[in-house]
């Protein structure tokens, strides 16, 4: 007969000293994007103990999603199931105590106050315009924003911790800005501009999602001291993984003057953060 500890779903997590499971259970997570990255992030959130998850996505499942999306089935592709609804249901299948909610719609149509209802925002997005939008709204709401992205075997995770850290937009160059207002979609709906479809590969997606949820665990457990500062870069072809700091860009519109002053003081004193 198994002992009491083997009856407890989270016994092994409780043995990690710094994890605060009660806080993790309570943390309200907003997950934007339910594609390949959203599937993997949803899985990691559910298994890690995050129970209050809201999933936002406007798209439906298509056949080309199926080689890297845990929760999507052939039947979902045939019937055009909504990605957000399938992922929310998948989270609750893994974790019966979870209350996952799906919001089917455009990120840009959500009111700014929507972000106030969450403790952490996760960007599982495939385009720059949505990434800038989510980053800006999370930053102005004062919510930690964790952004993931992949291109083939290259992965990147950025953790933004307002009010005094850099944000995703700080790390974007001018070529990003050129396409910031152009919308594209892998299902072809509402397309005004097509970027070449990115090479997508599940092992890189798994690594990026794991790092994103790992940072969620730290933030939810009150351990911002251990959180990324602030970009994790991974190259699966060269077998390289490293942490890189993105400086706060004084031209970035998301930072009020007093934050820039603090940042400059830190730079002058040689402090990392
Ligand atoms: Zn910024």
- Quick: pLDDT tens for 183-241: 444 444 444 444 556 778 999 999 999 999 999 999 999 998 999 988 999 999 999 99
Mean pLDDT of 7-33: 92
- Over residues 63-112, the pLDDT tens digits come to 999 999 999 999 999 999 999 999 999 999 999 999 999 999 999 999 98
167 is catalytic: no
Length of the chain as a residue count: 273
Residue 161: alpha-carbon gap to chain centroid: 13
Query: What percent of the chain is predicted at pLDDT more than 70?
Result: 84
Residue 20 pLDDT: 96
Question: What pairing do the DSSP bridges indicate for beta strands 101-104 and 52-57?
Answer: parallel
Greater pLDDT, 51 or 172: 51
Q: List the chain domain ranges.
A: 4-269
* CA 133 to ligand 1 center in whole angstroms: 12
More confident: 265 or 138: 138
Q: What angle do CA 182, 148, 106 make, to 5 degrees?
A: 45
Measured in angstroms, how far is the CA atom of residue 256 from the centroid of ligand 1?
10
Superfamily of domain 4-269: NAD(P)-binding Rossmann-like Domain (3.40.50.720)
Distance, in Å, from the CA atom of 241 to the CA atom of 210, rounded to the nearest integer, reads: 14
Q: How many angstroms separate the alpha carbon of residue 251 from the centre of ligand 1?
A: 8
Q: What spacing in Å lies between the alpha carbon of 138 and ligand 1's midpoint?
A: 11
Output the pLDDT for position 153: 94
Q: What is the pLDDT of residue 269?
A: 38
The answer to whether residue 260 scores a pLDDT higher than 80 is no
Please enumerate in sequence order all residues whose Cβ is within 8 A of that of 242, keeping only pairs 6 or more positions apart, or say none. Answer: 232, 233
Q: Provide the sign of the torsion angle of the four alpha carbons 218, 223, 224, 227, taken in this order.
A: negative
Phi then psi dihedrals of residue 141, to 5 deg: -85, -5
124, 160, 167, 186: which one is catalytic? 186
Q: Which two tokens stand for residue 218?
A: 């730290």
Interval between CA 166 and ligand 1 midpoint (Å): 5
For residue 183, give the nearest of 171, 172, 195 by alpha carbon.
195
55 pLDDT above the threshold of 50 = yes
**Burial state string for 172-190 with b = 16 or more CB within 10 A and e = fewer than 16:** beeeeeeeeeebbebeeee
Beta bridge mates, 160: 145
Ligand 1 centroid vs 170 CA: distance in angstroms?
4
Look at the pTM and tell me if it is higher than 0.75.
yes
For the chain, what is the mean pLDDT?
A: 87
Instruction: Give the distance from CA 35 to its chain's centroid.
Output: 11
């Amino acid at each position: 007969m198994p002992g009491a500890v083997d009856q407890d779903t989270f016994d092994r997590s409780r043995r990690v000293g710094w994890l605060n499971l009660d806080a993790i259970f309570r943390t309200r997570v907003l997950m934007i994007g339910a594609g390949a990255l959203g599937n993997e992030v949803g899985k990691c959130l559910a298994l890690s103990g995050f129970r209050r998850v809201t999933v936002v996505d406007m798209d439906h499942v298509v056949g080309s999603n199926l080689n890297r999306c845990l929760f999507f089935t052939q039947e979902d592709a045939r019937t055009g199931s909504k990605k957000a609804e399938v992922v929310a249901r998948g989270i609750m299948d893994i974790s019966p105590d979870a209350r996952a909610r799906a919001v089917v719609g455009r990120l840009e149509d959500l009111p700014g106050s929507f972000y106030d209802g969450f403790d952490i925002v996760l960007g599982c997005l495939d385009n720059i315009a949505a990434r800038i939008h989510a980053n800006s709204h999370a930053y102005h709401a004062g919510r930690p924003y964790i952004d993931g992205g992949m291109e083939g075997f290259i992965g990147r995770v950025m953790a933004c911790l307002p009010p005094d850290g850099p944000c995703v937009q700080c790390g974007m160059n001018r070529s990003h800005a050129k396409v910031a207002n152009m919308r594209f979609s892998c299902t072809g709906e509402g397309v005004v501009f097509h970027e070449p479809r990115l090479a997508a590969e599940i092992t890189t997606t798994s690594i990026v999602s794991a790092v994103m949820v790992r940072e969620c665990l730290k933030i939810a457990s009150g351990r911002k001291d251990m959180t990324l500062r602030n970009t994790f870069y991974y190259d699966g072809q060269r077998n390289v993984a490293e942490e890189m700091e993105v400086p706060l860009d004084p031209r970035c519109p998301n930072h009020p003057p007093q934050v820039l002053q603090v940042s400059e003081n830190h730079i002058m004193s040689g402090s990392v953060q």
